[in-house]
């Protein structure tokens, strides 16, 4: 999420097409899109493709991730097709490029990440990435409430 927030500053926060009240939710949706795609790839035995995807912004998985993310933010937050596509095409590749940089810099271990992706549900993975705001070991509506100050 830290990488998403870093790249989301220009793509989301400073973007007049994204209403300010939706900035955090749009960035959280980006995180969900990335994690969901990575988990699906690992669970389907495509661990080698994860590395390829991170290195190639035109990889079909990256394109699908961007498309799914754009569709989600259009539906959930009322963004126009053009605005959603611009946010997705700016945010997703930059986040993936940062993830690749962490791999190359030794900060991430691909085998550890693929083990966590293949061995747990989205809620558990999200908890590992700091989204478990109430500390109960899962990510649910209560965490979203705490995240948005409800």
Tens digit of each residue's pLDDT (9 = 90 or more) over 110-130:
555 555 555 544 445 455 455
pLDDT at residue 51 above 70? Answer: yes
Residues 62 and 124 in one domain: no
Number of structural domains (the chain) is 2
Distance CA 72, CA 143 (A): 20
For residues 95 and 131, state if they share a domain.
no
Backbone region of residue 35 per phi and psi (left: phi > 0; alpha: psi in -120 to 50; beta: other values): alpha
Whether residue 146 lies inside any domain: the answer is yes
The overall pTM is greater than 0.95: no
Give the mean pLDDT of 120-146. 56
Q: What is the DSSP string of 25-93?
A: HHHHHHHHHHHHHHHHHHHTT-HHHHHHHHH-TTSHHHHHHHHHHHHHHHHHH---HHHHHHHHHHHHH
């Amino acid at each position: 999420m830290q990488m998403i927030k870093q790249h989301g500053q220009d793509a989301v926060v400073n973007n007049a097409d994204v209403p300010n009240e939706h900035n955090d939710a749009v960035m959280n949706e980006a995180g969900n899109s990335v994690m969901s795609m990575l988990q699906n790839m690992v669970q389907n035995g495509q661990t080698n493709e994860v590395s390829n995807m991170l290195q190639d912004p035109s990889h079909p998985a990256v394109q699908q991730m961007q498309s799914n993310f754009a569709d989600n933010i259009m539906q959930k937050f009322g963004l126009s097709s053009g605005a959603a596509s611009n946010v997705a095409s700016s945010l997703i590749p930059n986040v993936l490029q940062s993830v690749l940089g962490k791999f190359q810099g030794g900060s991430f271990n691909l085998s550890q990440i693929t083990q966590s992706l293949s061995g747990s549900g989205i809620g558990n993975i999200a908890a590992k990435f700091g989204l478990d705001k109430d500390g109960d070991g899962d990510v649910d509506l209560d965490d979203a409430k705490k995240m948005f100050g409800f």
